[in-house]
Amino acid sequence: MTHPLLDVVAAVIERDDRVLACRRRPGKAAAGRWEFPGGKIEAGETAQEALVREIREELGVGIRVTGHLTTDVTDGIRLVCLRARLVTDAPVASTDHDALEWVALDGLGARDWADADRPAVRLLETGASAADR
C-alpha cells in the first residue's frame, strides 16, 4: 500500500553569500540534524504562501520568495526548496530549532543534514541548478 506524499516547503534564505541553516531541537523529529526552515503546505496554499507563513510562524521574520531551487522526494516527503530573501531583520530564535547559523555555501556539507534537505545542499554546494541534474 502506497502512502500519500507529505508536501513540505523549505526556505533557502540567502544573505551575503551565505544561507540560513537551522538545527532541529531535542524532542523534534530529526533532532540534532540541520535543515532549511519551513513546514507543511496546508490545503489551498501555494508553496510560496506556505513558506511565507511558516517562516513567519517559526522564525518570526518576513521573507520574499525569489525563485525555485529544487523539488525532491525522500522517504515519503516531497520537499520544495525555494530561494528567499529577508524583508525584515534576521531571525534570532526559532520555535523548532536550537541553533541558527549563516553558512557559506562551501561549508554546507560539513553539517549533518536531514535526509530530505540533502539534494538541495548538494545543488547549492556545486552551484548547479535543478535543471542541470
Residue 25 pLDDT more than 70? yes
Helix (H, G, I), strand (E, B) or coil at 46: coil
pLDDT digit string, tens, across residues 73-126: 988 899 999 999 999 999 999 999 999 999 999 999 999 999 999 999 999 998
Domains of the chain: 6-128 (3.90.79.10)
Helix (H, G, I), strand (E, B) or coil at 83: strand
Which pTM was predicted? 0.91
- Residues 6+ away with beta carbon under 8 Å from 21: 34, 35, 36, 100, 101, 102, 103, 108, 111
Number of Cβ atoms within 10 Å of the Cβ of 108: 20
Q: How far out from the chain centre does Cα 26 lie?
A: 18
